[in-house]
Each structure stands twice: as C-alpha cells, then as structure tokens.
Structure 1
C-alpha cells in the first residue's frame, strides 16, 4: 500500500513543480519594477571613462534631473539606441553614462564611433555599480531627480517610440 501511494505521489509532486515553473515562465522579467524605485541612487566611488585620475561619486547626480544610461561597447542594443540617446541630449536632458563591464579603450572608441551624448561616463569595469543598481543586462536607463532619487527605470533598448511615449513624458513629470 505504501509503495503504491509513493508511486502516485511522485508523479503528482513532479506535476505540481512543473506547473509552478511553467507559470513562472509566463512572466516577463523586464516588466518588473526596479527595487530601487523611489530610493536614492546607490553610493559609489569611481573614475570617469575618459580620465582615470578624475574621481566622482553619487553627488554627481544631485542638483539636476539626470538620465543615467548603463551601456557597454560589447552590447549590440547599445549601438542601436545611441541615436535616441543623442536625440534626448538634443532635448536638453542631462545624461550620464555608466560604461559597464568594459575596458577604457573599447568604451572610448565606442563613443568616438557612435557619438557621445553623456556629460560624463562613470567607468564601471567590474560591474560593481551595475550590480548595486540591479542591472541584469545592458542597456538599462534610470531617471534620477535633482535630489538623487531614482524615479524611472527603463530596461533594455530605448526605441524611437520609447523616447516619445515613455522617456520624454517621465522627464516632463519629474522636471
């Protein structure tokens, strides 16, 4: 009797676990809100991409609404979204880049080739700042208000439609 019960419970347990995992596959992880929403931008100390002797920290993001874009030379979507970032800079939006898991040489060469909409680029070769931001893949973009609080998080590539339908309305909301 115990053996028959066990033979019945094993497939039933497997079915329950399989249904649980199947249900989790239906959720889009990029639709999650950032855990940092409405919280201060993480504290950091870093150098800039272009000048390894220039040290900066999170105070860089205080005083003015700033769009912080996490990018890397190795990221194909980062190349695709660069025209949209240049357009946002043309709209007078202050932009700071986070050169994520890259080398200085490759990062600088990327900006020389695709354009540089950033006031400054934080150099994050080990991905420490990206980790603190909860980044799970470049590109990702954060809107940080004048007090250094994260107000919006855009996961993935910024398309031309995202500029007009998401980014510019969020900027207008927090300016």
Structure 2
C-alpha cells in the first residue's frame, strides 16, 4: 500500500518560497521571486507531461486560471518541446512557466514528485502544500478550503 504523501506537511510551510528555475519553455514568461510578492495569493504547480495525474488535474488548473487565480507552473524533469506542445494543445493556465529539467528547483521546494501544488501568500510565504492531483473531493475538500482561506486573509 502506498503512503498518502498528501498527509505529510512540508518543511517549507511558513518559509519564504524558494527560487524558481532559471529557465523557461519557449514562448513562456520566466517566473521570478517578485511574482509571488505582489500582495496577491499565488499558486505554484509542479507538473510534467509524462505524469498521468498531472494531465488529470489540467482541466482544474484551466478552471482556476479562468477564475483569475494566479498560477505559476514549474515543468519538472520533462522534455521542453513536449511540454511546450502540451500547453499549446491543451491550454496554458500559467502566467509564467519555469523549466526544471534536472529537478534542482524541485529539490529546493521539497517536491517528492509531480503533481505538487503550493499556495503562496502575497508576501512570498509558503502557506500550504498539496501532493497529488487537484481533482474531485481532494481538490474540493482539502485544497480549495486552504486556497479560499489564504485569499480571504489577503484582502
């Protein structure tokens, strides 16, 4: 039986968000530390095209983006051309996309494997970590209440 990785808290909670990768995908905006220090809540999502749960959560990310939620993506240990083609075909929910082909940024964020999603306060502090796809009752009962709480606190 696999352990529920989502139940473990991240050592990043309460700390300043780590640096983003220094590369991006072709045609994308490179995320930087200031993007999570705008006074608005941001969501950082580590994903990959080879990851079926990442593909499963993609419609949720598109829906979140359509609601005005600030999403920053980090493509994890992927082929850049495949990742770019995926976003072109399926839609890009991200305002910026970091490219982490070796997984170095993921290590700094404490990512164990995609998808992992972080809620970041407007001052750049990591508020919450969610391991696994943002789908179904996990999204609605675990992630969404944390996001709503963070957004209410930022007003």
Normalised to the residue count of structure 2, the TM-score between the two structures is 0.86
| Structure 2 runs not aligned, ≥5 long | none
SS of the aligned residue for 1:36 comes to coil
Q: Is the contact between residue 42 and residue 71 of structure 2 (CA under 8 Å) also seen in structure 1?
A: yes
Give the one of 50, 60, 82 matched to 1:106: 82
Aligned CA RMSD, in angstroms, stands at 2.1
Q: Tell me what 1:89 maps to.
A: 65
Distance 1:153 1:82, change over 3 A: same
1:59 aligns with 2:34: yes
Distance 1:57 1:159, change over 3 A: same
Count residues with an aligned counterpart.
150
Q: Tell me what 2:119 maps to.
A: 143
Give me the whole-angstrom Cα distance separating, in 1, the residues matched to 2:136 and 2:42: 19
Q: CA deviation at 1:51?
A: 4.0
Q: CA deviation at 1:27?
A: 5.8
Q: Is the contact between residue 41 and residue 70 of structure 2 (CA under 8 Å) also seen in structure 1?
A: yes
SS of the aligned residue for 1:138 comes to coil
SS of the aligned residue for 1:143 comes to strand
Of structures 1 and 2, the larger Rg is shown by: 1
Q: Tell me what 2:8 maps to.
A: 32
Q: Tell me what 1:70 maps to.
A: 46
Normalised to the residue count of structure 1, the TM-score between the two structures is 0.77
In proportion to residue count, which structure has more helix? 1
Q: Is the contact between residue 76 and residue 102 of structure 2 (CA under 8 Å) also seen in structure 1?
A: yes
**Greater relative contact order (Cα 8 A, min sep 6): structure 1 or 2?**
2
Give me the whole-angstrom Cα distance separating, in 2, the residues matched to 1:56 and 1:89: 16
Distance 1:87 1:160, change over 3 A: farther
Q: Tell me what 1:17 maps to.
A: none
SS of the aligned residue for 1:79 comes to helix
| Structure 1 runs not aligned, ≥5 long | 1-24
